[in-house]
């Protein structure tokens, strides 16, 4: 399997002096996700945890609804990239082929762009009934645990991470990738393969919180998304409509809550927890 990092030579200019050195950099590869022999998407991603990536992408993009609908998976290294060949149950495979034909449409129909925009902005799943709660201490612990479980980023300083934090258990899984949405897909795949419900914890991200992260987190069934950077305005709107708790700019003991305030225990409530 392809390596996730590489040692490369460099010329360093520091303190007005020039020297030769080496740096470990993250690998990035073209990863094709193919179903029934037809490619659905090609993503630039870190070539690690690829089985998790295949499952997570399939779930978060709505290609399958559960792990049982994936019957087989094969990782094929090709010239210039990696092809993830994913086989589906017959009924799901037929539904995907029908969806592809519907999307194709006649050239110049004038609808394809509109349909693509609608797909990108589809509402996030309703997670308003998820009953998880976190304290300020939980949020701080989650961010520290995420940082401590990023071996590839420690080497390269160039990749994102997505983690799953459960109250009382801590950070139970972390996945890394050059793309923040890829890292989340890998995490979703890992949770599905280990029968861990998204409603039991919070998703923790090293990145800004944008619309696709809201959609994928809600599809997982998680009611909380916490990130180190700020959210976009559209992400806040979508999180509000889906009933998700959105916590951002979580650094050290500081954070900002943008939606779903009731899931965060503050002050005396937190002390009593």
Say which CATH number the domain at 184 has. 3.40.140.10
Confidence of residue 120 (pLDDT cuts 50, 70, 90): confident
Say yes or no to pLDDT of 271 above 50.
no
Query: Do 57 and 169 belong together in one domain?
Result: no
pTM of the full structure:
0.93
Residue where a domain terminates, one of 62, 93, 120: 120
Of the candidates 42, 109, 266, 273, the residue annotated as catalytic is: 109
Examine the pLDDT at 140 and tell me if it is beyond 60: yes
CATH number at residue 112: 3.10.20.10
Q: Which of 55, 75, 52, 54 is nearest to 66 (CA)?
A: 55
Active site residue 109: yes
Say what the pLDDT of residue 273 is. Answer: 46
- Reported residue count of the chain is 273
Q: Say yes or no: 152 and 73 in one domain.
A: no
CA distance 213 to 67: 21
Domain extent at residue 60: 29-120
Q: What is the pLDDT of residue 109?
A: 47
Which tens digits make up the pLDDT trace of 222-241?
999 999 999 999 999 999 99
pLDDT beyond 60 at 104 = no
CA–CA distance, 119 with 162 (Å, rounded to integer): 24
Q: Are residues 221 and 257 in the same domain?
A: yes
């Amino acid at each position: 399997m392809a390596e996730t990092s590489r040692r490369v030579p460099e010329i360093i200019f520091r303190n007005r002096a020039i020297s030769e050195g080496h740096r470990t950099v993250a690998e990035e590869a073209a990863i094709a996700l193919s179903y029934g022999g037809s490619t659905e998407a090609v993503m630039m991603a870190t070539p690690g945890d690829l089985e998790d990536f295949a499952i997570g992408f399939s779930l978060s993009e709505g290609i399958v609804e559960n792990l049982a609908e994936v019957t087989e998976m094969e990782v094929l290294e090709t010239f210039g990239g990696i092809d993830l060949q994913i086989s589906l149950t017959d009924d799901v495979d037929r539904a995907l082929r029908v969806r592809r034909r519907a999307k194709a449409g006649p050239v110049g129909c004038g609808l394809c762009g509109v349909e693509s925009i609608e797909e990108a902005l589809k509402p996030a799943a309703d997670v308003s009934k998820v009953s998880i709660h976190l304290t300020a201490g939980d949020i701080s612990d989650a961010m520290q645990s995420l940082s401590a479980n990023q071996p590839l980023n420690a080497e390269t300083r160039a990749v994102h991470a997505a983690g799953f934090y459960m109250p009382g258990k801590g950070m139970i899984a972390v996945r890394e990738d050059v793309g923040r949405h890829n890292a989340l897909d890998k995490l979703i795949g890992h949770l599905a393969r280990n029968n861990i419900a998204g409603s039991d914890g919070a998703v923790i991200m090293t990145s800004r919180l944008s619309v696709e992260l809201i959609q994928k987190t809600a599809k997982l069934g998680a009611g909380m998304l916490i990130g180190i950077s700020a959210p976009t305005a559209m992400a806040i709107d979508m999180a509000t409509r889906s009933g998700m708790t959105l916590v951002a700019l979580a650094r050290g003991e500081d954070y900002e809550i943008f939606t779903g305030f009731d899931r965060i225990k503050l002050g005396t409530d937190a002390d009593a927890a």
